[in-house]
Amino acid sequence: MSRKSVNKREKIDRVTITTTTMRVKKVEKRLLKYDELPDYMKDNDFILDYYRCEWPLKDTFLSVFCWHNETLNIWTHLGGFLIFAAMAVATLMESSKGDGAISNFLRTSFIATPLMTMLTMNRNNGSRNTTQGGHHGNFSESSLLDTSAEGTELVPLWPWFVFLAGAMCCLVFSSVSHLLACHSKRLTRFFWSLDYAGISVMIVCSFYAPVYYCFYCQPLFSLFYLTSITILGILAIITLFTPSLAQPQFRAFRACLFLGMGFSGLIPSVHATALHWDHPQLLVALGYEVLMGILYATGAWFYVSRVPERWKPGFFDLAGHSHQIFHVFVVGAALTHSAAIMILLHWRQGTPTCL
């Protein structure tokens, strides 16, 4: 064979290889149906289409701006992350006089109306001592959250920032996991474990502010409860990083573990209510915590039951499936919890220094 023929054949081979590579890249970037997925990516057999599978890392990153069955999973929690980041910034910018964005939010009807109602009920029942300050002869919505009373001390804000950090950690871990887990089998296992760890972190961090402010004058109880939930959270994270527990068949187990961690807060809640039963602020905050629990439990029900996509497989592939609904309930519950924390913080700031 002549040298000219060999060179021509090499050129043809290079063109063929290049063409094949381009075709492979196109295949890698297309959206797949459920039946085309490798076994490690099969999780919800009621979502039938629009899956990303083993895309190049760059394309996987850029898919945050594309429409697929994880788009709303990514953005529901990414949006929640931005909300809590804004709350953190607003708190840092708020002056010590309580005239910033967070205090103004507390004076809205969403927060102030339940407090005013409770105080009115107490006054009508002849209560004269509903707070340690004992100044309820005349009260108004504008003075309800005043924290400048004499004999008070500046209460630390670090527990509030612990909660915000935990919430942001959970939400950003979730968004990143839903974005990147499709890249490879190795990243799938890592990111779903990271996602579950983020939920555990958020649950643990959610305890810090309520327990700290409710037991501010009982530091030993505060230390006991916070140490207990922290140890429980660490054990949960270790457990959830076990690869076998990330499998779809353990979905109900994971939901029960998270709910169990959350509802363990009933013990300090009952204890705090017994200590401060005559303080309407704490009772209103407890009401928000009950609402938070209902929201989390409802979201967990959607997560486990896979409703509504099980009722009409394929119809909710892009929008409206159970995991997206679960995400919305998680953000709503976290915002409800933040309202409860703010009530407790301003109540504690308005009470006299511990004796």
What letter does residue 155 receive in the DSSP assignment? P
Show Cβ contacts of residue 58 under 8 Å, excluding neighbours closer than 6 positions. none
Q: Which residue has the tokens 């899956």?
A: 51
How far is the C-alpha of 305 from the C-alpha of 46, rounded, in Å? 11
Say if residue 308 is preceded by a cis peptide, omega within 30 of 0: yes
How far is the C-alpha of 47 from the C-alpha of 51, rounded, in Å? 9
- 323 is annotated as contributing to ligand binding: yes
Contact 179, 211 (CB under 8 A): no
The one-letter amino acid at 224? F
User: Among candidates 302, 158, 169, 166, which has minimal Cα distance to 222?
Assistant: 158
User: Among candidates 205, 201, 176, which has minimal Cα distance to 188?
Assistant: 176
- 136 is annotated as contributing to ligand binding: no
What letter does residue 172 receive in the DSSP assignment? H
- 279 is annotated as contributing to ligand binding: no
Show Cβ contacts of residue 21 under 8 Å, excluding neighbours closer than 6 positions. none
Binding residue ranges for Zn(2+): 178, 323, 327
Q: Residues annotated in the binding site, as ranges?
A: 178, 323, 327
